Amino acid sequence: MCSQIFRSSSLTRRGQGHASPPARRRQAESPRRDRRHATGRGRLRQIDAGATDLIVVIVGYKPEQIIDRYGDAYRDVPITYTHQREQLGLAHAILQAEPHVDGDFMLMLGDNVFRGNLPDVTNRQQEDRADAAFLVEEVPYEEASRYGVLDTNEYGEVVEVVEKPDDPPSNLVMTGFYTFTPAIFHACHLVQPSDRGEYELPDAIDLLIQSGRTIDAIKLDGWRIDVGYPEDRDRAEKRLDELADKTDTNDGTEPDDTDEAVVDG
């Protein structure tokens, strides 16, 4: 089993943890705030509880609200929390979870809403030939500079990752769902601050590539919405409302998918 890291900042371990960065902009508190926090728990529904032994949630802004919402377990998988007290980048955030993770793990960023083939990513990383696997998506070239952009070789292996480049090498972008071995922690320790003063995950990934690690790119089969901006959050909620209208109401013990899609970190 593995851990999962979720950063709402939140982290889980494949069997342990996932992570997700806080939204790039915060809206004024409103009657929708409770719903935005509820949507974060929806991401946990994408976790394969049978393959996960620990969920590590990285908290930052208003951690007590996240902790109160998620509680101490999800579908019998224990949740532990770690605090990123300074917003120093995603590589720095991942290192906050290192003491809780002792094997392979999945990383999920909380500013994305997914419906797609996440199991394909975890299955690929578990193959002996892959040291890591990322869920990736093709976007219009004019939008690529908003994201971490990657380039691949003829075998679908990642050969370069650049964070929000002015001149993207491709239109293939990272979606915020990854699987890693613990080697990523060592790489994160080696990363130097970027021009933004942050410890960037793409820099750590490049160190893995330079050391000869194999990282596979799995194209998204489904849909994703980056909810880091208010207008995208609105679009995600509308999409999830439409999905909720097509599904039966659950037994009331948990929020439905609409209530679980967006985290306000």
Question: What CATH number is associated with residue 237?
Answer: 3.90.550.10
Residue 265 lies in a domain: no
Report pLDDT for 254: 45
Q: What average pLDDT does range 3-11 have in this prediction? A: 59
Report pLDDT for 221: 93
Q: Please state which of the ranges 20-24, 52-56, 182-186 shows the lowest mean pLDDT.
A: 20-24
User: What is the reported pTM?
Assistant: 0.77
Residue 242 lies in a domain: yes
pLDDT at 168 over 60: yes
- Domain with 117, as residue range(s), is 2-260
Q: What is the pLDDT of residues 171-203, one digit of tens each?
A: 999 998 999 999 999 999 999 999 889 999 999
pLDDT band of 134, cuts 50, 70, 90:
very high
How many separate domains does the chain show? Answer: 1
Task: Give the C-alpha separation, 161 to 138, whole Å.
Answer: 14
Task: Give the C-alpha separation, 20 to 264, whole Å.
Answer: 10
Q: What average pLDDT does range 104-116 have in this prediction? A: 84
pLDDT at 120 over 50: yes
Q: What average pLDDT does range 44-64 have in this prediction? A: 76
pLDDT at 109 over 60: yes
Q: At what angle do helices 183-190 and 90-97 cross, to 10 degrees?
A: 130
Report pLDDT for 190: 98
Q: Please state which of the ranges 89-93, 127-131, 192-196, 214-218 shows the lowest mean pLDDT.
A: 127-131
In eight-state DSSP terms, residue 103 is S
Residue 149 lies in a domain: yes
Residues 6+ apart with CB under 8 A from 50: none
Report pLDDT for 48: 62
Residue 112 lies in a domain: yes
Residue 51 lies in a domain: yes
